[in-house]
A = this chain, B = another copy of it.
Amino acid sequence: MDNVTAPNHAPVLTPPEITLIPNNSLLTETPEEGRQLAVKMARLIIKLTQPDEEKRKQLRKVYDNDAMMLIAASQVVAAEFATIAAANNYWRK
- Chain B residues lying within 8 Å of A24, measured Cβ to Cβ, are 30-32
Given contacts A24-B30, A75-B76, A82-B82, contact A66 B69 (CB under 8 A): no
Partner of A72, one of B27, B71, B77: B71
Interface of A, secondary structure class, is helix
Given contacts A65-B59, A91-B25, contact A19 B32 (CB under 8 A): yes
Whether B20 contacts A32 by the Cβ 8 Å rule is yes
Chain B residue nearest to A57 (CB atoms) is B9
Quick one: which of A68-85 are within 8 Å of B by CB?
68-83, 85
Can you list the 6 inter-chain pairs with the closest CB atoms, starting with the nearest? A87-B90, A78-B79, A20-B35, A63-B67, A59-B67, A45-B74
